[in-house]
Structure 1
Amino acid sequence: MAGIVVVFDFDKTIIDVDSDNWVVDGLGATEEFERLLPTMPWNTLMDTMMGELHARGKSLADVAGVLRSAPLDPRVVAAIKACYGLGCDLRILSDANRFFIDTILDHHGLTDYFSEINTNPSAVDAATGRLRIAPYHDFHAGPHGCGLGICPPNMCKGQVLDRIRASAGAAGKRVIYLGDGRGDYCPSLRLGRDDFMMPRRGFPVWELICEDPSLLQAEVHPWADGAEMEETLLRLVGRVLLEERNLPPLDCKLESLPAVAVQDGMPMTLRIKN
């Protein structure tokens, strides 16, 4: 196994849309969603919307059908599979919810590539058959305690990242973090000098980083789309693998290599999922 943990946000990072909005819009509840949005936290709103959709006769199968149509760039799929094949430990850290993420990953055959999914829990109410969405941090019992002022009440991704880094499987490994939203800024501040932050260019986390890049210890490598994500991520993985083996750089600059060259240059056996 490589000494690399790759942590992906999900919405607008793995998939190219926000899964919550995708479901609400796809099932015709946008107007009700926008009416309620100013009145409650987002996580609570999504649980409320699942109840509203259920009341309108929309089944869990209807929700799943919309999720399976969410756009996922094939270059992102290729990047996930290549990182897994190179021995990286892949994890998801998302403010979506478990049912949405599991449905999409399963549809694209990606579930087994990830060792852990950290997100808001969800469950089907046995009495009604409707989906319930709960907060990752139970903010009704008390605040999660992050003092940054950006994290939503239901999830401080920085605290979750700290737990991931301290876990048995990730301790001592270098982290590559990919994200797009405001909630991804807190974990970016907790990365170390040997880690890498990959913010999506032009999105909220990128704008926050640009306000004062000196606040981050990790190297920052932005990306704009699936193709650039794949190239950048595999370049960084290739760089770490070379450094782990104390190998000299390749003849040409690693930064300029296409993704396939980075893979072909790795002195290790690829893991292939059947």
Structure 2
Amino acid sequence: MAEVVVVVFDFDRTLIDGDSDDWVVKEMGLTQLFRELRSTMPWTSLMNRMMVELHSQGKAAEDIEVCLKRMPLHPRVIESIQAAHRNGCDLRIISDANQFFIETILKQHGLLGCFTEIVTNPAFVDAEGRLNIVPFHDSASTPHGCNLCPPNMCKGLVLKRIQAADSEFRKRRYIYLGDGKGDYCPCLRLGAQDFVVPRKSFPLRNLIYNKQALIKAVIHEWSNGEELAAVLLDIIDRILIDENSRTEVMASPDNGCKTTPVSYP
């Protein structure tokens, strides 16, 4: 029954408590250069420039990997992801970080195999051994046209594509967990049967409550890894109880019905 549940995580400051970009910049001694260049280029391009700098210093992708493996992940968050995966939930990540950083951290904590899909800025190691980070959307050749999102990624369009896999007879229920401005657009695409889980005192929460009438989904807040895990598992339990109740009603002899998949209005 848990296959009706799709859990979508942002990564930085959501699935992990901190920011993977900041972690690499600080841990690998790039803070001063990063600050000098911060106002001169988009964030993804700036992170790619940091990778150029590390390569010029003789640092290989393996050195960046070692750095990322030291990044902590709350043990209760790990447990909640594993529990949701065991119960058959469709777990996904939509993040403005990058593929190399996310996959390295998830592998370190034994979580990579729990996720159906990770949508983020691509990253690859070239023939010279340098890590390259490129935008998910090419704003020059294929702009996404959303004025709510940064030029390199519209998370709303990504969620729309995931939702398009649902059919008239199989409407899955979504749980979206996030913290930043870029998470607001996909939250507008959630329905009344869905849940949005913003981090307290972060931009997404403020955007939601400034125009709460635009949000159809049920809102549950969290502030740390312990709360995130508890809220997530509680929502999943509530959905499954609700779905079981619906199925029992459909299968009740009093209704003269056989057990059938439940569709939503």
Shift of residue 57, structure 1, vs aligned partner: 1.6
Is the Cα contact below 8 Å between 2:166 and 2:172 reproduced in 1? no
In the TM superposition, what whole-angstrom CA distance separates every residue of 1:48-87 from its partner, at most 9, and x where no partner exists?
1100111112111111111111121001001101111221
Does residue 165 (structure 1) correspond to residue 152 (structure 2)? The answer is no
Matches within 5 A, 1:130-141: 130-141=130-141
Shift >4 Å, 4+ stretches: none
Aligned residue-pair number:
244
The residue that corresponds to 2:255 in the other structure is none
Q: Confirm or deny that 1:67 pairs with 2:68.
A: yes
TM-score, with length taken from structure 1: 0.86
Deviation at 1:140, TM superposition (A): 2.2
Q: Distance in 2 between matches of 1:174 and 1:142?
A: 30
Other-structure match for 1:229: 228
Q: Percent identity?
A: 54
Between the aligned partners of 1:58 and 1:146, the Cα distance in structure 2 is: 37
TM-score, normalised via structure 2 length? 0.89
Letter in 1 for 2:238: R
Structure 1 residue 16, shift from structure 2 partner: 1.1
Counterpart mapping for 1:1-40 below 5 A: 1-2=1-2, 3-40=4-41
Q: Which runs of 5+ in 1 are unaligned?
A: 249-274
Q: What letter corresponds to residue 46 of structure 1 in structure 2?
A: M
1 CA distance for matches of 2:48 and 2:141?
18
Q: 1:247 to 1:143 in 2, by over 3 A?
A: closer
Superposition deviation, residue 167 in structure 1? 2.5
Answer 1 or 2: which has greater helix percent.
Answer: 2
Q: SS at the partner of 1:95?
A: strand
1:200-239 matches, cutoff 5 A: 200-239=199-238
Question: Any conservation in 1 of the 2:8–2:177 contact (CA below 8 Å)?
Answer: yes
Matches within 5 A, 1:183-198: 183-198=182-197
Ranges in structure 2 where 5+ consecutive residues have no aligned partner = 248-265
Compare CA radii of gyration and give the structure with the larger one: 2
Q: Deviations over 1:111-163 (max 9, x none)?
A: 1100100001111111x210001111111214211133xx1110011111111
SS at 1:209 equivalent: helix
